[in-house]
Amino acid sequence: MKVTITIILNIVFLSIVSCQKNQIEITNQLTNNHINIPPTKISIIPPEGFVNSTKFIGIENEESGINIMEIDGAPFENSTRDLNRETFESQGINVKRIEKVKVNELSGYILELEQEYGSTQLIFGDSTYTVMLIGSYPKLNKKAKEIIENCLKTAYLNKDQKTNPFDVAKFDIDLSKTNLEFYQYGANQYIYNSDKLESAYNHPKGATLTISQIPNDPTVTNNIKDYTTGIYLKMANEM
């Protein structure tokens, strides 16, 4: 799958003010066909042939994928209030469809966008939580688009589920050597924060390290734990 982090990030934080009057109701119960996407609180029914991705948090096949992002502590209204159709178009994103939805009584939107790839997204949440499911597929492949959207509509949120972001991390870290504490994770990001700020994303004291920065070549470092600890220690000293 050739979807890049840049494309995802260009799309994922965009939302909408304008929407269609008709509202889609998505009401799901957890079934035996649902699988949880670690380390999230989201379960979906994956399409045939899709497997857990090793490149991002979500599922994929050879040409399509669904990336899942959770922002715990981020009100849904705050995550979506400042963005509109003009914002998409100013970034060269073609808006094909915008629809207001409710997902098990939570407010949300379905978006259908086109850039280098096609993207159908389901974004929903409440006063303390926002979740984004970002489906990507070849934009001329109508069957792939249909499969992705049908999968998005199976999303089930269990906010009481315990999660551990390091279940899928490709590295370990010795936090005893730094003044940073784990804050939250995003798309391939593990965010650390020295003073438990409300938003490590937007604060100068927020420290981030992406999985892409972790060396895959074992000759780079003999101890991946020492490597990542060293990166965070450098961040801590610079703050």
In a domain, residue 164? The reply is no
Answer yes or no: is 115 within a domain: yes
The amino acid occupying position 172 is D
233 and 135 share a domain? Answer: no
The pLDDT value recorded for residue 54 is: 77
pLDDT tens for 96-152 read: 988 889 999 999 999 999 999 999 999 999 998 899 999 999 999 999 999 999 999
Look at residue 162 and tell me if it is in a domain: no
| CATH code of 43's domain | 3.40.1000.10
Tell me, yes or no, whether 63 lies in a domain: yes
Q: Would residue 205 count as lying in a domain? A: yes
Asked whether residue 113 falls in the same domain as residue 193, the answer is no
Phi and psi (nearest 5°) for 107?
Answer: -70, 145
35 plus 110 within the same structural domain? yes
39 cis-preceded (ω within 30 degrees of 0): yes
Whole-angstrom distance, CA of residue 113 vs CA of residue 194:
37
C-alpha dist (Å) from residue 43 to 24, 65, 158: 20, 15, 8
The pLDDT of residue 23 is 76
125 and 176 co-located in one domain: no
Rounded to an integer, the average pLDDT of 73-88 is: 78
Q: In this structure, are 234 and 187 located in the same domain?
A: yes
Asked whether residue 109 falls in the same domain as residue 39, the answer is yes
Do 129 and 89 lie in one domain? The reply is yes
For residue 175, the enclosing domain spans: 169-238
Q: Are residues 146 and 188 in the same domain?
A: no
pLDDT tens digit string along 26-46?
Answer: 999 999 999 999 888 999 999
User: Is residue 146 in a domain?
Assistant: yes
* Phi, psi (degrees; rounded to nearest 5) at 120: -115, 130
Answer whether residue 163 is part of any domain. Answer: no
Mean predicted confidence (pLDDT) in 154-158: 95
| Counted domains in the chain | 2
Last residue of a domain, one of 157, 184, 200: 157
Residues 152 and 185 reside in one and the same domain: no
Contact 120, 148 (CB under 8 A): yes
Residue 62 included in any domain: yes
Q: Comparing 168 with 68, which gets the higher pLDDT?
A: 68
Same domain, 118 and 12: yes
The string of DSSP codes covering 82-114 is: T--HHHHHHTT-EEEEEEEEEETTEEEEEEEEE
Residues 131 and 16 reside in one and the same domain: yes
User: How does pLDDT run across 171-186, given as a tens digit for each residue?
Assistant: 666 666 665 666 555 5
pLDDT number for residue 44: 97
Tell me if the pTM is above 0.95: no
Whether residues 13 and 119 fall in one domain: yes
pLDDT at 187: 47
